[in-house]
Amino acid sequence: MDMDQAAVWLAGSILTVLGFLTILAGVLVANNLVAKYWKPWGWKFFPTYLDQPQPRFLTPEEIKIAPHLDPLNKEGITESTTNKK
């Protein structure tokens, strides 16, 4: 590569970068001009399922509550299944 080819390559790379910067500046100006008419589309870094509240576990008082009739089983509650003390 001689001096003429190196100069053309350097000028071409500089002009290419300046072209990309001009296009980027144009996109930013256009975005700022119409930004007040846009609605946010809600992009988040973390998925939305991480925002859900934690599940509630049974307390010791709720464990002591007697079981109810199972509508699928259609059988009553027997004495052996209740937690009587």
Q: What is the pLDDT of residues 6-24, one digit of tens each?
A: 999 999 999 999 999 999 9
In this predicted model, what pLDDT tens digit does every residue of 31-77 receive, in sequence order?
888 888 877 666 767 666 667 777 788 788 887 887 776 666 665 55
Whole-number pLDDT of residue 52: 74
Whole-number pLDDT of residue 28: 92
Query: Residue 67: CB partners within 8 Å, gap ≥ 6?
Result: 77, 81, 82
User: How far apart (Å, rounded) are the C-alpha atoms in residues 31 and 43?
Assistant: 17
Domain ranges of the chain: 3-81
